[in-house]
Amino acid sequence: GENVEQHPSTLSVQEGDSAVIKCTYSDSASNYFPWYKQELGKGPQLIIDIRSNVGEKKDQRIAVTLNKTAKHFSLHITETQPEDSAVYFCAASIPNTGGFKTIFGAGTRLFVKA
Amino acid sequence: SQTIHQWPATLVQPVGSPLSLECTVEGTSNPNLYWYRQAAGRGLQLLFYSVGIGQISSEVPQNLSASRPQDRQFILSSKKLLLSDSGFYLCAWEQGGAYEQYFGPGTRLTVT
């Protein structure tokens, strides 16, 4: 079945450094790849997304890249700040009856040390 | 703007008791609605989704059921809770035809 693998499970960086989280997906029909940030005790928040017809997208300090051939996509956070500390989830969405089926990765816990 | 509400925020229930979690969306019409469960330190597992009133699709056979009595209301239920039902339950909405899915604040359920 559909699967999304996410690495690493935990990532610790120094404030100001960059953080990279990588995901791979299995279903080639996936055409939408969102990233979510989840703070403790809260629901996930959509922070950036990319569609299959785009290779890269940037929004201030965060960027996503997509390699459809390799079925890889990545989240890049530059100039990390302590408030970036959270759990980040990648996901891959596949068109489904009336909507989309979204498969989530297991999450990456990011610690940014001040 | 659209907002999504879930209640209760936290719930402690004994094994064998019933469950009803509610999710409502404001500021949109005919959204696709989703229920996810998140075990401690884990990813999100899709439980149910709905593309319209009375239309429910189940992704995982389990002790839970879902209903959509109104366009912007989604309910997650159980007749008898199990210990394994403990977790963080998240409702999400998506505008039909759009890609972006937005989550509610979640309900933390502890079954004792």
Cβ neighbours, 10 Å, residue A113: 11
Mean pLDDT of chain B: 92
What per-residue confidence (pLDDT) applies to A98?
Answer: 67
What per-residue confidence (pLDDT) applies to A101?
Answer: 85
A49 touches chain B (CB under 8 A): yes
What per-residue confidence (pLDDT) applies to A17?
Answer: 97
The owner of tokens 């909507």 is: A99
A18 to chain B, closest Cα gap in Å: 24
Q: Which residues in chain A have their CB less than 8 angstroms from residue B96's CB?
A: 98-99
Distance CA A110, CA A79 (A): 14
Using CA atoms of B45, B51, B55, B59 in order, give the dihedral in degrees to the nearest 10. -20
What per-residue confidence (pLDDT) applies to A96?
Answer: 75
Amino acid present at A6: Q
Q: What is the pLDDT of residues B45-90, one digit of tens each?
A: 999 999 999 999 888 767 899 999 999 999 999 999 999 999 999 9
Q: CB of A93 within 8 A of CB of A33? A: yes
Outline where DSSP puts E strands in chain A: 4-7, 10-14, 19-25, 32-38, 45-51, 56-59, 62-67, 72-77, 86-96, 99-104, 108-113
Helix (H) / strand (E) element for A17: namely: none
Per the CB < 8 Å rule, is A107 touching B43? Answer: yes
Cis ω for the linkage preceding B14 (within 30 of 0)? no
Walking along chain A (114 residues) 10 residues at a time, the average pLDDT comes out as 91 98 95 96 95 91 96 97 97 82 93 95
